[in-house]
Chains A and B, each alone.
Chain A
């Protein structure tokens, strides 16, 4: 597709359940980021993928969070045993290179009730 696609666009889940968020980057983009934005806050870095290199996971807030990406394809962000503080918009972005103008998806709005 022409842009970064994220699914689902909205997700409401019960506390304690696992969720999986999906990101389809722009074809050929080797760099991929996950960020999240909690209400009233800025974008918070979660994880960075660059090609087949080991991902930079330094932003993941706890071991309940994990992400995968195979090569330059789809990425999934998994949150286990969700908590209310996980409620946020989760944004994925991709780029041809690390220091490029990243293209963001529209995000997944996660609400943990």
Chain B
């Protein structure tokens, strides 16, 4: 049973515009969330995290928003750049050891 879901397998955005990647989760015990970016033939690269005590965390062009009541988080990239084209995974954790990953969203930024 998929506890973390990324319902959009792909997304295309024009360069310079905002990219919004969405992630939903089912387990209300999740209290720590991460976003990873993955290029082909490489391992995922950590981007940004957020704890459930916050509703927003920003790092440069990347901002993660957390809506606990809706069990939803999103990653905003602004402005989007062609080098941002990759697969983006969200992941969530409770107090246990395991991180639960979504199936990923493939972002294409069109020059």
A and B are partners in one complex rather than unrelated chains: yes
Query: A48, B42: Cβ atoms under 8 Å?
Result: no
Decide yes or no: A99 and B43 within 8 Å by CB, A35-B101, A42-B2, A45-B100 being known contacts: no
Give the Cβ gap from A13 to chain B, nearest Cβ, in Å. Answer: 20
Give the Cβ gap from B104 to chain A, nearest Cβ, in Å. Answer: 7
Give the Cβ gap from A39 to chain B, nearest Cβ, in Å. Answer: 11
Decide yes or no: A58 and B43 within 8 Å by CB, A42-B4, A42-B103, A99-B32 being known contacts: no
Docked Cα-Cα span, A42 to B44, in Å, equals 12
Q: Taking CB as reference atom, which chain B residue is nearest A102?
A: B46
Decide yes or no: A41 and B43 within 8 Å by CB, A50-B97, A58-B98 being known contacts: no
A91 in the interface (beta carbon within 8 A): yes
In the assembled complex, which residues on chain B have CB atoms less than 8 Å from the CB atom of A6?
43
In the assembled complex, which residues on chain B have CB atoms less than 8 Å from the CB atom of A101?
34, 46, 49
B45 in the interface (beta carbon within 8 A): yes
CB contact between A93 and one of B4, B43, B103 (< 8 Å): that residue: B43
Chain A, interface size category, equals 20 to 34
B63 in the interface (beta carbon within 8 A): no
Chain B, interface size category, equals 20 to 34
In the assembled complex, which residues on chain B have CB atoms less than 8 Å from the CB atom of A4?
43
Q: Taking CB as reference atom, which chain B residue is nearest A59?
A: B98
Q: Taking CB as reference atom, which chain B residue is nearest A98?
A: B97
17 contacts between A and B (CB under 8 A): A4-B43, A40-B103, A42-B2, A42-B89, A43-B99, A43-B101, A44-B101, A45-B98, A48-B98, A58-B98, A102-B46, A103-B43, A104-B36, A104-B45, A106-B41, A106-B42, A106-B43
* Interfacial residues, chain B to chain A (CB-CB below 8 A): 2, 4, 32, 34, 36, 41-46, 49, 89, 91, 93, 96-104
* Interfacial residues, chain A to chain B (CB-CB below 8 A): 4, 6, 33, 35, 40-45, 48, 50, 56, 58-59, 91, 93, 98-99, 101-107
User: Given contacts A43-B44, A48-B98, A106-B43, could you give 5 more A-B pairs where the C-beta distance is less than 8 Å?
Assistant: A35-B101, A43-B101, A91-B43, A104-B45, A106-B41
